[in-house]
Structure 1
Amino acid sequence: MRPIENLTDITAFVRIAAAGSLSAAARDLGLSLAVVSKRLARLEAALGVRLVQRTTRRLSLTEDGAAFHERALRILAELEAAQDAIGGDGRPRGLLRVTTTAAFARRLIAPCLGRFHERYPEIRVHVIAIDAVVDLVRDGIDIAIRQAALPDSTLMARELGRNWRVLCASPDYIARRGRPATPQDLADHPCITYGDPPMTVWQFARRGEAAVGTIVSGAIMSNDGEVAHAAALAGAGVVLKSIWHVAEDLAAGRLVRILEDYESPASPLQAVFPSARHLAPKTRAFLDFLGAELRVAAAGLGTP
């Protein structure tokens, strides 16, 4: 084993592990594929082990690679924190990796990225839109936006708002089938359910009262909320969706809210990040910015 002489080799390896391929890592780093391949080969030669296993479809870490990757992330995080501590002006800068669901990324993150860049021109934002819950430390993620309570974890969380769910259907559906007046009326309506497994008990309560579960059913089910959303837009039935996901459709009249006198229990909308001990200026800037954006949006939606 030889000493590792170039920190850029470690950086390249971490980006390769996060991106899942050399070509994707090269694009992220703004380098050629040849340069990234050379850096990985140089690091493997210095360590005397193979760090990645290449297949025809995807690259994966070897056992040695996974062990080194975990420590490499800590090294780079501590180095970044040290630079921020002595950097003088403390301006937010660098690459910020944010992950959230594809729907939330399209509807809420993407529309405000231009304003964020105008305010913080030295921050580059990489949005990883994926519905699966990723390992923040393993994948080198700075912030994850999650629409549920954080389980017991070593991660830190900041609540950005509340995730209210509303019942809605298309105007065409209401014209054909009528509008339910109470949760019990949903027994006479096809309800579009989703989740893994699809959620068939919907909670409703009048304001100030305890929520009561209502069993719903219908011919259309999916593991994906976007499929349910699209089916509702096409007039296939009634759907219970996050206000953040259907706000534009409600405003445009493509969907109509039902049972407005009832509420469905809200879950926290949270930003999750590995540690608050050395919160980088870029991370703090994005958290503050997104929180302010969502508060303004929530006020416009009239959420409780």
Structure 2
Amino acid sequence: MAPAIDSLLDVTVFTRVATAGSLSAAARELGMSLAVVSKRLARLEDRLGLRLVNRTTRSLSLTEEGSEFYERCVHLLGELGDAEEKARARQQGASGLLKVTSTAAFARRQLGPLIPHFLERYPGIRVQLDVSDTVADLVKAGYDVAIRFGALPSSSLIAKRLAPNHRVVCGAPAYFAKRGRPEHPADLKHHGCIAFGDPPNPEWQFEGADGATVTVRVEGPLTTNNGDVAHEWALEGGGLVLKSIWDVGPDIEAGRLEVALSHYRVPAAPLHAIYPHTRGVAAKVKVFVEFLGEELRAAYRWGGGGRIKAEAAD
């Protein structure tokens, strides 16, 4: 049995021969050699067990079976053309279901409020937002795009940087009143630190003013796979947490959390939109990524040293 793509090409050749009225005219229109057109037509007839065309040295005509088959082929190719046009229009029109995955904290504080505004701009799109701190396999899970912090996990994916992201060690004023403040990353070994993630990451890395890197393995009585829970524990004075400024910025600004070790830099983990590496990225993905980049860069406000900046930063 011939592969479907070969069968379709044979059918295309046959319909062009029937329309053009000769093998040579069909060959010119298709950009094929006369020998290839003749071979494909003969192969189609052999596969069907039917003579489709009566050929002489001067003329070509369809047999009765050929005429009937021709009508069906024209209908088939017309349906295929319509399907391609609809797909093209869908691509250009930015419509359909957009499946997005993100961490729970970022989805609740940033994506959740932004998505209704995105849909106002693109009413033909529907959004399904799945939240989890577990890194999902985009292809297996069928996601169109993931919003993640940090490095690109796989070369089979495309990462589009959306906005900067500083991370800070912070805790509630009540915690610092009781336990004091660490002056050096090594002091964290004597503090209750909240590790989180799936799996939780107990290794926190810092860079000093001299560029030297310090990695500390933190410990504490509280560990969770959920960033939101870790955030709440920090607000309640349960310990220190290493979090993205996207998550804790408003609490720092309001005084509910305070930054520790502000003279040390935590390596940045920029915010990315990640999507499968395909030849043609759907319009719904393109416009969503562009929208998020614009909105998040405009909203980004961090001056370092525990200060929130009023102006936007790049």
Comparing 169-178 with 203-212, greater Cα deviation is found at: 203-212
Structure 1 residues 126 and 208: CA distance shift in structure 2, 3 A: farther
Residue pair 1:211, 1:265 contacting (<8 A) in 2 also: no
User: Post-superposition shift, 1:258?
Assistant: 1.3
Residue of structure 2 aligned with 1:101, choices 82, 103, 121: 103
Residue of structure 2 aligned with 1:85, choices 69, 85, 88: 88
Query: Pairwise CA RMSD of aligned residues?
Result: 2.6
Structure 1 residues 156 and 80: CA distance shift in structure 2, 3 A: farther
SS of aligned partner of 1:186: helix
The 1-side partners of 2:285 and 2:112 are apart by 17
Aligned length, in residue pairs: 225
Matched, 1:220 2:222: yes
The 2-side partners of 1:81 and 1:163 are apart by 41
Query: Could you report, residue by residue, the CA deviation over 1:100-157 in whole angstroms, capped at 9, with x for unpaired residues?
Result: 1222211110011122122222222111112223332333321111223223332222
Residue pair 1:84, 1:281 contacting (<8 A) in 2 also: no
**Residue 139 of structure 1 aligns with which residue?**
141
The 2-side partners of 1:200 and 1:224 are apart by 14
Residue of structure 1 aligned with 2:275, choices 273, 279, 288: 273
**Residue 242 of structure 2 aligns with which residue?**
240
Structure 1 gaps of 5+ residues are: 1-78
Residue pair 1:90, 1:281 contacting (<8 A) in 2 also: yes
SS of aligned partner of 1:232: helix
**Residue 256 of structure 2 aligns with which residue?**
254
The 2-side partners of 1:100 and 1:249 are apart by 21
Correspondences of 1:204-215 after superposition (within 5 Å)? 204-207=206-209, 209-215=211-217
Residue of structure 1 aligned with 2:204, choices 202, 205, 209: 202
Matched, 1:297 2:299: yes
Structure 1 residues 197 and 123: CA distance shift in structure 2, 3 A: closer
User: Post-superposition shift, 1:188?
Assistant: 2.9
The 2-side partners of 1:168 and 1:238 are apart by 6
SS of aligned partner of 2:166: strand
SS of aligned partner of 1:204: strand
The 1-side partners of 2:121 and 2:299 are apart by 19
Amino acid at match of 2:218: V
Residue pair 2:95, 2:124 contacting (<8 A) in 1 also: yes
**Residue 161 of structure 2 aligns with which residue?**
159
Residue of structure 2 aligned with 1:127, choices 126, 129, 140: 129
Amino acid at match of 1:165: R
The 1-side partners of 2:153 and 2:85 are apart by 30
**Residue 263 of structure 1 aligns with which residue?**
265
The 2-side partners of 1:251 and 1:266 are apart by 20
Amino acid at match of 2:183: A
Structure 2 gaps of 5+ residues are: 1-81, 303-307
The 1-side partners of 2:190 and 2:143 are apart by 45
Residue pair 2:172, 2:258 contacting (<8 A) in 1 also: yes
Identity of aligned residues (%): 47
**Residue 38 of structure 1 aligns with which residue?**
none
Residue of structure 1 aligned with 2:115, choices 97, 103, 113: 113
TM-score scaled by structure 2?
0.64
Amino acid at match of 2:264: Y
Correspondences of 1:174-185 after superposition (within 5 Å)? 174-185=176-187
Residue pair 2:133, 2:227 contacting (<8 A) in 1 also: no
The 2-side partners of 1:297 and 1:171 are apart by 26
Query: Could you report, residue by residue, the CA deviation over 1:80-102 in whole angstroms, capped at 9, with x for unpaired residues?
Result: 98535356x93322221111122
Amino acid at match of 2:179: R
